[in-house]
Amino acid sequence: MIEVQSVSRRFDDLTAVEDVTLTVGQGEMVALVGTSGSGKTTLLRMINRLVEPTSGRILLNGVDTGTLKPHLLRRRIGYAIQGHGLFPHYTVAQNIAVVPELLRWPKDRIRERVDALLALFQMPPVEFRDRYPAALSGGQQQRVGVARALAAEPEVLLMDEPFGALDPVTRARAQADLRAVQARLGTTTVVVTHDMEEAIALGDRIAVLDRGRLVQYAAPAQILTAPANDFVGQLIGQSERPFRLLALSRVSDHLEPGAAPGTPIDAESSARDALAECLWSGRDALPVVRDGKPVGRVTMAALAAHAGGPG
Amino acid sequence: MTALRRIDPPGLLFGAMGVGALLLPFLHFRPNRIVLGDAVHLGPFYVAMVSGLLAIGMLRLPQWARLGSGVAGAMLLVWLAGALAAELSDGAPAAARVSPASGAWLGLAAFVLLIADALSKMRLALSLRMAALALACGAVAGLLLSGHLAQISVLQEYAARRDVFAAQSLRHLTLAFGSLVGALIVGLPLGLLLYHERRLRTGVMGILNLLQTTPSLALFGMMIPLLSWVAANVPGAAEMGIAGIGFAPALIALFLYSLLPVVGNTVVGLDNASPLAREAARGMGMTPAQVLARVSIPLALPVIMAAVRIVLVQNIGLAVIAGLIGGGGYGTFVFQGLNQTATDLILLGAVPTVAMALVAGIALDLAAEAFER
């Protein structure tokens, strides 16, 4: 658990972060969103003390991080950055092993951990262990970067625009992978992004920052339906809002009994995909299947009703 | 047009050099070591052979064929020089000298460039290139030991100075490598310091730049009073060989000239070591010393290695200047030769210097490449 308590950071006469208080619960994934210069990266870097707060304090599992040695604190916190920051002169395995080596884990434990992480990110260890970062695709480099951040079983994972350098297709896959891995490991995670879509895809909760201040901290659905002010509304994008809202729910949430013609859709697909399919194939309703068996249907009317705002 | 397409552009240049070489005199036959003497040209048969080999080098043929013609051409010219010199010297007075003339040097240069061009286009594996370098050194050594070139004037100068030559070679190497080692011992920590303390950069780099641009003669001049004072006043200094002129000031001058490349490249290399990798290293909990040792320095190493190469090649050449102040090395022969207007003696100092710099440069390139994998 991370508790940020009235934290501010000033650089000369510029206030990067002003009096921010927020709590990230155990096992939660929180997205920090804002435009450039909103202070989101500075806030993230204060958690592992790459930047020191000017005032206020940050507790990690109840302990004031200011009382710990910075490099020892950082070894307990996974850190992944945009453009991955892999060491070009280390192999994939050596890169992932950096923090376990710093913590002096036994050799076989490190080896096991490296292989397990590579397998977790669907990179067969035999094939990838001894490669150099230059011999990997952008998506693979990014996965190694995240695997490295997770290597020493950190209490907390911090990510700064981790997927910023990836193309849209690779990025969507990386987000899904991260979500799955995070759910499996239950690591408390804070991810910085300027992209509201990414924040919605990743965050259990979203913290919106504007000019150093925390303007809203809430679950994605609430951010979408009740933006705290115009700035949050702009970040969401008015025309995108209904679709982003739909993307948060599954087809199974809108299931009703009955039948419909045409190709069925899986109950676990997002409601957004279902609406897209309705529009594209010109149907008012789609048959829904789960594990290949028909379980009912979903109608465009139900989806449309859900996509509307509270007013 | 099709004919043009069969021409290898660098080969054309080597061909032009070769034609120039054939028009110039091949050897000079001189009654003694100082006067100019008569020009000796190659006969038509050998002109035809050399032209044929050059023609092969000019065409877009498989590179092993161009390499072969280069090697054959170089060997032919060397053999001709030795054989003709022996023939001319036979029965001539003892003071007579046969020396290679512009044609021989230019022709040899054309074939050596052809060899280098063919080798680089063959993209040989690292180990094969190392073997090629060793083979070339071995071939030159074998040629000199064989005595085939014994009647060539430069080697006659060598024969007269055989014992001094070995000592001066060693002295030359000591000057070049000793100053490099000194520059590394001082320059690497200094570079590290400047990397951390940006405020010091302008001042220190300014001083090093000033040193670099100071003419060597001026530097020697300034050291004479300084080192004489040291020798007279510091106990033990004179016994160590420190004096106003000689080996010590030469070594110090070379050391000072080496500092700028070493310090400059260390700073640039560390500055340019991937900032992302450094940021990640710090964020993962490395101490500043660990970031330096595990990330910044390894990433800066290729740039630092480049400085080592520059310094070594530069110092081998510059060490000649030590001859001027009695510091020893090949410069001794160069300056003796200049005083006696004996070109052959100058060459006895100059040719080994060039060869040593060339071999050191290539060897360090290969070492750097081996190191990077």
Q: What is the pLDDT along chain B (373 residues), one digit of tens a residue?
A: 566 678 888 888 999 999 899 999 999 888 887 777 888 888 889 999 999 999 888 888 888 999 999 999 999 999 999 999 988 888 788 888 888 889 999 999 999 999 999 998 888 888 999 999 999 999 999 998 888 888 888 888 888 888 899 999 999 999 999 999 999 999 999 999 999 888 999 999 999 999 888 888 888 888 888 888 888 888 888 888 788 788 888 999 999 999 999 999 999 999 888 888 999 999 999 999 999 999 999 999 889 999 999 999 999 999 998 988 888 899 999 999 999 888 889 999 999 999 999 999 999 989 888 877 6
Count of alpha carbons within 13 angstroms of residue A290, beta-carbon side? 11
Query: Does residue B276 sit at the A interface (CB-CB below 8 Å)?
Result: yes
- B202 at the A interface (CB within 8 A)? no
C-alpha span between A42 and B77 (Å, rounded): 71
- B interface test, pick of A76, A87, A104, A132 with most B CB neighbours within 10 Å: A87
CA distance A51 to chain B (A): 10
Q: Which of A75, A102, A150, A157 to mutate to test the interface with B (most CBs of B within 10 A)?
A: A102
Q: How many CB atoms lie under 10 A from the CB of residue B341?
A: 11
Question: What are A's interface residues with B at a Cβ cutoff of 8 A?
Answer: 48, 50, 71-77, 79, 81, 83-89, 98-99, 102, 145, 148-149, 158
* DSSP for residue A33: E
pLDDT value for A53: 94
Using CB atoms, which residue from A75, A79, A89 is nearest to B280?
A79
Say yes or no: B280 contacts chain A, CB-CB below 8 A: yes
Q: What is the pLDDT of residues A211-229, one digit of tens each?
A: 999 999 999 988 888 888 8
Q: Which of B279, B285, B298 is nearest residue A81 as measured by Cβ atoms?
A: B279
Task: Note the ipTM here.
Answer: 0.80
Look at residues A311, A197, A308 and name the one whose alpha carbon lies nearest to residue A244. Answer: A197
DSSP 8-class letter at A133: G
Torsion of CA B64, B65, B70, B74, to 10 degrees: 100
Q: Does B290 touch chain A (CB under 8 A)?
A: yes
Partner residue opposite B283 with nearest CB, options A50, A72, A87: A50
Q: Does B188 touch chain A (CB under 8 A)?
A: no
pTM above 0.90, yes or no: no
- Residues B188 and B83 reside in one and the same domain: no
Q: Which residues is A15 bridged to in the sheet? A: A10
Task: Among B108, B126, B158, give the residue marking a domain's end.
Answer: B158
Query: How far is Cα A266 from Cα A291, in angstroms, rounded to an integer?
Result: 8
- Looking at the complex, report in whole angstroms how far the Cα of residue A4 sits from the nearest Cα belonging to chain B: 19
Residue A110 has pLDDT above 60, yes or no: yes
From the candidates A89, A104, A158, which should be mutated to test the interface with B, based on the most B CB atoms within 10 A? A89
**For residue range A225-268, what is the model confidence (pLDDT) as tens digits?**
888 888 888 888 877 888 888 888 888 888 889 888 888 998 88
Residue that finishes a domain, picked among B158, B189, B208: B158
Burial letters B297-334, b for 16+ CB under 10 A, else e: bbbbbebbbbbbbbbbbbbbebbbbbbbbebbbbbbbb
CB A81 within 8 A of CB A165: no
Alpha carbons A185 and A286: distance in angstroms, whole number: 35
CB B285 within 8 A of CB A50: no
Q: Which residues of chain B lie closer than 8 angstroms to A81, CB-CB?
A: 276, 279-280, 283
Are B277 and A71 inside 8 Å of each other by CB?
no
Task: Provide mean pLDDT across the span A60-79.
Answer: 93
One domain, residues B87 and B184: no
- Please give the distance of CA B298 from its chain centroid, rounded to a whole number: 28
Question: Tokens 């410069």, residue?
Answer: B331
Confidence of residue A177 (pLDDT cuts 50, 70, 90): confident
pLDDT given at position A26: 93
Does one domain contain both B241 and B135? no
Looking at the structure, tell me whether residues B29 and B133 fall in a common domain.
yes
Q: For residue B149, give its domain range.
A: 2-158
Same domain, B151 and B218: no
Chain A interface, best mutation among B278, B284, B304, by max A CB count within 10 A: B284
B277 → chain A, closest CA residue: A85
Whether residue B190 sits in one domain with residue B109: no
Q: What's the DSSP call for residue B323?
A: G
Would you call B298 an interface residue with chain A, using a CB distance cutoff of 8 Å? yes
- Check residue B192 and report its DSSP letter: H
Do A88 and B274 count as a contact with CB atoms less than 8 A apart?
A: yes
* Domain identity same for B101 and B245: no
One domain for residues B108 and B211: no
**Least CB–CB distance from A98: residue in B284, B287, B298:** B284
Question: Which amino acid belongs to residue A294?
Answer: P
Phi, psi of A295 (to 5 degrees): -125, 0
A84–B290: do the CB atoms touch at under 8 Å?
no
Tokens of B118: 């063919």
pLDDT on residue B2: 63
B contacts of A87 (beta carbons < 8 Å): 277, 280-281, 294-295
Contact across the interface for B280 and A81, Cβ inside 8 Å = yes
Contact flag A102-B277 (C-beta cutoff 8 Å): no
How confident is the prediction for chain A on average, in pLDDT? Answer: 90
Res A54 pLDDT > 90: yes
Residues A84, A145 contacting (CB under 8 angstroms): yes
Task: Give residues 30 to 89 of B whose Cβ lies within 8 Å of A.
Answer: none
Bridge-based pairing of strands A205-210 and A188-193 is unpaired
The DSSP 8-state label assigned to residue A270 in this structure reads B
Cross-chain Cβ contact B286/A102 below 8 Å: yes
Distance CA A163, CA B332 (A): 65
CA dist., res. B186 & res. B165, Å (int): 31
pLDDT at B6: 81
Q: What CATH number should be reported for the domain holding residue B360?
A: 1.10.3720.10
Could B279 and A84 be called an inter-chain contact, meaning their C-beta atoms sit closer than 8 Å? no
Closest listed residue to residue A47, CA positions, set A70, A18, A14, A19: A70
| Amino acid residing at B365 | D
Q: Which of A85, A89, A102 sits opposite B298 (nearest CB)?
A: A89
- Quick check: A85 and B298 CB within 8 A? no
CB atoms B285 and A50 under 8 Å: no
Residue A64, CA distances (Å) to A5, A8, A175, A188 in order = 10, 15, 31, 17
| Together in a domain, B196 and B284 | yes
When CB atoms are compared, the residue of B285, B294, B299 closest to A71 is B285
Token pair recorded at residue B227: 């080192």
pLDDT classification of A310: cutoffs 50, 70, 90: low
Residue A85: list chain B partners with CB under 8 A.
274, 276-277, 279-281, 283
Domain count, chain B: 2
Predicted confidence (pLDDT) at residue A32 exceeds the cutoff of 90: yes
Chain A contact present for B285, CB below 8 A: yes
B113 lies in the same domain as B193: no
What is the model's pLDDT at position B60? 86
Min distance A210 CA to chain B CA atoms (Å): 25
Measured between alpha carbons, how far is residue B358 from residues A304, B17, B169, B365 in Å? 78, 21, 15, 11
CB contact under 8 A, B285 and A102: yes
Q: Identify the domain boundary among B110, B141, B158.
A: B158
Q: How many helices (H) and strands (E) does chain B have?
A: 16, 3
Nearest to A85 among B277, B298, B299 (CB): B277
Contact A79 B281 (CB under 8 A): no
8 Å CB contact of A88 and B283 = no
Nearest chain A CA: its distance from B130 CA (Å) = 24
Residue A176's pLDDT is 86
Q: B61-83: string of b/e by CB count within 10 Å (b at 16+)? A: bebeebbbbbbbbbebbbebbbe
Q: Which of A48, A72, A76 sits opposite B283 (nearest CB)?
A: A48
Please indicate, yes or no, whether residues B77 and B166 belong to a single structural domain of this protein: no
CB contact under 8 A, B284 and A50: no
Task: Identify the DSSP state of B148.
Answer: T
Chain B residues in contact with A73 (beta carbon < 8 A): 285
Considering the domain architecture, whether residues B177 and B192 belong to the same structural domain is answered as yes
pLDDT confidence of residue B97: 86
pLDDT at position A8? 93
A156: Cβ contacts below 8 Å, ≥ 6 apart: A2, A47, A60, A76, A77, A78, A187, A188, A189, A190
| Angstroms from B295 CA to nearest CA on chain A | 7
